[in-house]
Amino acid sequence: MTAGQAAIQGEGAPALSRRAAAAGIAALMAGGAAPAPRPQRIVSLTPCLDAVLVHVVERRRIAAVSHYTHEPASSSLGPIGRTFPYTYGTAEEIVALRPDLVLSGPYVSAATRNALARLGVRTAMFNAPDTIAENLVQVEAVAAIVGRPDLGAALVGRIREALARAAPAPGERPLTALVYQAGGFAAAKGALMDDLLTRTGFENIAPRYGLRRTGYVPLERLVADPPQVLLAGAGRPGAPTWADRVLRHPALERAQTHMRRAPFPQRLTNCGGPVLIEAAETLARIRRDVLAGRA
């Protein structure tokens, strides 16, 4: 079984196999099969890896997180994220920190990745998972490469428990929903958020607007075919949500008679890992409120 196959099959496999798969993926990402010393100075370059790292390694071993984690609109960690040192992802900043492991992602600049490779800086590359199953394997892979598979397994356990608590009762009909992000963008089928909606009792309506991947939903389409629940949140504290601005449009007055707007913070739409716990709990509460007529 290849590392890629292990990732795809991670959720359905026994726990021991999942941990072995995660360790294997981490070794491959690190660029070699031989075990490496436990890293003591770790730099993370993406906000979603930041969110996982903080839960699977001791604080003293985190040399820096990404600058996104210091920005309220993009941070998934909240105020605690702003207590860590950070970089803007340049090779000069990273090398100055003398890291023995850098966690990187597909959106990190090629110039930075190439420079780190030339300088021999140990780097682990993680792709953005499209499903919760892939995301849980990634959590275990991050924990394995930093030398704390026990903390990774504990975090995965907490995520699974939250998903189980948030699942609808057997036979309950899903509510149609749209996650309306800043600028009117929505998550389509095949995205991590789509998987989370399904698991918490919602049907993602994005395909009915012609979205095959995350993209813009015109107001006209929303008016013509509104979901039962419009989920949206402010990008920064105190800011009006995109849904607030859209719902004040006169064209949506008729739609509001059979569409509910429920606050869903933007910070819960960006990442998986530990973020899934709060996101699942929030979606489950919204579903209960809508069904009870409280939203």
Grade residue 234 by pLDDT with cuts at 50, 70 and 90. low
| Tokens encoding 265 | 């913070």
Q: Contact 256/247 with Cβ under 8 angstroms? A: yes
**Phi/psi of residue 7, nearest 5 degrees:** -65, -45
Q: Is the dihedral of CA 51, 182, 185, 107 positive or negative?
A: negative
In the predicted model, what is the mean pLDDT of residues 232-248? 60
| Tokens encoding 280 | 């699942």
Instruction: Flag whether pLDDT at 13 surpasses 70.
Output: no
In the predicted model, what is the mean pLDDT of residues 263-269? 87
Q: Contact 185/243 with Cβ under 8 angstroms? A: no
What per-residue confidence (pLDDT) applies to 72? Answer: 75
Residue 123: name the closest of 34, 22, 23, 30 by CA. Answer: 30
> In angstroms, how far apart are the furthest CA atoms of the chain?
63
| Tokens encoding 267 | 């910070």
pTM: 0.82
DSSP 8-class letter at 2: -
Q: What distance in Å separates the CA atoms of residue 93 and residue 76, rounded to the nearest whole number?
A: 23
In the predicted model, what is the mean pLDDT of residues 243-255? 60
DSSP 8-class letter at 27: H
Q: Provide the angle, in degrees to the nearest 10, between the axes of the packed helices 149-166 and 132-145.
A: 160
Q: Contact 39/64 with Cβ under 8 angstroms? A: no
19-66 pLDDT per residue, tens: 444 444 444 444 444 567 899 999 999 999 999 999 999 999 999 999
What per-residue confidence (pLDDT) applies to 222? Answer: 80
Q: What distance in Å separates the CA atoms of residue 31 and residue 21, rounded to the nearest whole number?
A: 16
Query: How much of the chain exceeds pLDDT 90, in percent?
Result: 57
Look over the chain and give the mean of its residue pLDDT values, rounded to a whole number. 83
| Tokens encoding 181 | 């992000």
| Tokens encoding 146 | 């930093």
Map out the domains of the chain with their CATH numbers.
3-163 (3.40.50.1980), 169-291 (3.40.50.1980)
Q: Contact 43/96 with Cβ under 8 angstroms? A: no
In sequence order, the 6+-apart residues with CB closer than 8 A to the CB of 71 are none
Q: Provide the angle, in degrees to the nearest 10, between the axes of the packed helices 47-56 and 132-145.
A: 60
Query: How much of the chain exceeds pLDDT 70, in percent?
Result: 78
Grade residue 77 by pLDDT with cuts at 50, 70 and 90. confident
Name the residue with tokens 């991590």: 192
Q: Select the more confidently predicted residue: 219 or 128.
A: 128
107-164 pLDDT per residue, tens: 999 999 999 999 999 999 999 999 999 999 999 999 999 999 999 999 999 999 999 9
Q: What distance in Å separates the CA atoms of residue 246 and residue 236, rounded to the nearest whole number?
A: 17
Q: What distance in Å separates the CA atoms of residue 176 and residue 14, rounded to the nearest whole number?
A: 33
What per-residue confidence (pLDDT) applies to 19? Answer: 45
Grade residue 292 by pLDDT with cuts at 50, 70 and 90. confident
Residue 260: name the closest of 172, 195, 166, 180 by CA. Answer: 180
Q: Contact 200/284 with Cβ under 8 angstroms? A: yes
What per-residue confidence (pLDDT) applies to 187? Answer: 82
